[in-house]
Structure 1
Amino acid sequence: MINLKKKIELSNILEKIEVDGHSPENIKLLDNLHSKPKSHVLGITGPPGAGKSSLIDKLIAIIRKKKKTVGVIAIDPSSSKSGGALLGDRTRFQLDPNDGGVYVRSMAAKDYLGGVSELTYPTMTVMRSKFDFLIVETVGVGQSETSIKDIVDTVILCVQPGSGDTIQFMKSGIFEIPDLVVVTKCDMEKLSNQTFSDLSGSSTYFKNKNEWDIKIILTSSHKNIGLNFLEKDIESRWKWLIREDRLNKNRYSQDIEWMKNSIIREFGLVGLKKGFEKINYKKNPFSELARISKVLKN
């Protein structure tokens, strides 16, 4: 359990990283926590209005019923003028403030593309070491907003019935990222069945990710339909990642991708080419990125 004192300690750690994640002290801390992963990290993505927050609310309840702890990273869109964000996602979760097994961290996407925030990876690294499950909710999903796959173990794509999203996802390549596809609001029976049929018929657009059989699940958060099937599929996904020796390999690839994106943001593509010639990564991604950045600056 994460009691109030530990929640305050965790908040202080995350605040330090947000203020100065590049300090030697924080880099050492991040590398240490990176070596102690605990969570199955779930990414919940989908267009605005698809029911992501409602689904997360139900997942939290399911996880807590099993006496497991859960952390949530809720990423909110930022104002194009001020760069600020309302950080209101947590208000949609029906949480017990006295529950020591749940912790929610909101953050602004700012100018970072991909549906996530620049700070999502270090924040995920810290929280992944603290909870049994970690849920990352993206701003939304669009043609460029597929970075969630480089942060989480399991991507859950929410699709709203009758929205026409299926065709748009085919065009934009979104179907390449999910491990589970959830048709939300299935109490809209006719529309949800049609959407399920469209998705099932579009299975060739789903990327075959290392032979994992992508599941399509009908759910309703309002009427508690299909959530038990989603729970079982999440558990099956975790067992598959471990059985097929994919978990550590995927996380290693994510470390590399995070370092590449960080180098591009600071030094551009030229810097990436120079920096990646110097990379020698086996562990401690935060120290390795700091080393490469120092070389590129000199």
Structure 2
Amino acid sequence: METLTVEDLSFDYETLPVLRDIDFSVAPGTICGLLGPNGSGKSTLFKCINGLLKPRQGHVRIGGQRIAQLSRRTIAGIMAVVPQQTTVAFAFSALQMVLMGRASRVGAMGRPSGADARDAAGVLSDLGIPHLKNRPFNALSGGERQIVLLARALFQNPSILLLDEPTAHLDFKNQYRVMDIVQKMTRRHHLTTLITLHDPNLAVRYCSQLVMLKQGRVHRQGTTADVFEQQAIEALYDMNVSIQNGDRGQWFVMPGMVQTPLSDIGGRQYAVQ
């Protein structure tokens, strides 16, 4: 398993600066959460880490090797990406979607073997959804699709797992169901896991490390125990919050007063408490 390192990374879209001086590393067996408001650069950072975008300065390393020096096929063998949502044009089954995780190894003209199909079915069983293997992927619920995409990523046998807001479109139950699986698989396979999240309550529950991004820069970073504090969260999101401790010793965030009034409704101004 490999350590993921981002070194002094900056990125611009032509003349628009997006990321500045990003520097952190994630060790195997760790879930690192990327937190930040919309437009903070989280998705762009993911594309730089995955080698889809070239930084203006700085480097991304896997182990000690720069990702810019690796082929796309090599990167696919090391790093798996789980997107927010995926729909496909054809009526692929859940099992076929998982089998696509090894496309880079099979080659453009190759076909998965019987052993590949058995292994893929085994991954679906490990994640508790063997009954979905013959179901059309597009007919599955949002939570089921995300778990199938996790299965596809794990079927790649990666060292590094990148998850781009995998809970963004899920209901309350499935958010925690997906995150429970991510935590279990990270520990079992000693993966280096980096995940973008909008909800700080999911981050504090599942991530042992946090990188907070604001306006393209690192706002705070470190272990969750060190950086998950009221002032850091308030400054990150520009709102008042309180951090409380539940009965089981688990922190959670409660929003306070939103500083900017909402739009004029019926001639009156409202603020949310």
Please classify the TM superposition score into its range, dividing by the shorter chain length: 0.3 to 0.5
More strand by share: 2
Larger Rg: 2
More helix by share: 1
TM-score if structure 2 supplies the norm length?
Answer: 0.32
